[in-house]
Amino acid sequence: MRLPSIVALWLVCLLSGFALPAGAQEPVRWLAHDMQRPRPPVVAPAASDCPAPPPADAVVLFDGKDLSGWRDAEGGPAKWIARDGYMESVPNSGYIYSAGKFGDVQLHVEWAAPLPAKGRSQGRGNSGVFLMGLYEVQVLDSYDNETYADGQAAAIYGQYPPLVNACRPPGEWQSYDIFFRRPRFHADGTVERKARITVVHNGILVQDNVEIWGPTAWLQNRPYEPQEPKLPISLQDHGNPVRYRNLWLRELPETPPAGPPASEPPPVVALSTAELQEFVGAYKTLLGDFGKIELHGEQLQLHMETGQVIDLIPRSPTEFAFRWTAAKLDFDVRDGKVAGFTMHLAGDKYPVKRVGG
Give the residue with the Cβ less far from Mg ion, 234 or 341.
234
CB of 254 to Mg ion, least distance (A): 30
Note the Cα 147 to chain centre separation in Å.
Answer: 27
Q: Before 241, cis peptide (omega within 30)? A: no
CB of 324 to Mg ion, least distance (A): 48
Report which of 191, 159, 194 is spatially closest to residue 180, judged by C-alpha positions: 194
CB of 104 to Mg ion, least distance (A): 23
Other Cβ atoms less than 10 A from the Cβ of 56: the count is 5
Give the residue with the Cβ less far from Mg ion, 111 or 341.
111
- Interface with Mg ion by CB under 5 A: which range of 98-106, 160-168, 231-239, 345-353? 231-239
Dihedral Cα 204, 205, 206, 212, nearest 10 deg? 150
CB of 80 to Mg ion, least distance (A): 15
Interatomic CA distance for residues 140 and 137, integer angstroms: 10
CB of 249 to Mg ion, least distance (A): 20
Give the residue with the Cβ less far from Mg ion, 70 or 320.
70
Give the residue with the Cβ less far from Mg ion, 128 or 314.
128
Report which of 290, 305, 284 is spatially closest to residue 355, judged by C-alpha positions: 284
| Residue type at 185 in one-letter notation | F
Give the residue with the Cβ less far from Mg ion, 244 or 279.
244
Report which of 261, 268, 232 is spatially closest to residue 100, judged by C-alpha positions: 232
CB of 138 to Mg ion, least distance (A): 5
Interatomic CA distance for residues 76 and 209, integer angstroms: 35
- How many residues sit in the footprint of Mg ion (CB under 5 A)? 4
Interatomic CA distance for residues 193 and 9, integer angstroms: 33
Report which of 265, 271, 266, 267 is spatially closest to residue 317, judged by C-alpha positions: 271
**Contacting residue, 128, 170, 291, 314, with Mg ion by CB under 5 A:** 128
CB of 210 to Mg ion, least distance (A): 18
Binding residues for Mg ion restricted to 131-150, rule: CB under 5 A: 138
Per CB under 5 A, does 40 bind Mg ion?
Answer: no
Give the residue with the Cβ less far from Mg ion, 1 or 219.
219
- List interacting residues with Mg ion (CB under 5 A): 126, 128, 138, 236
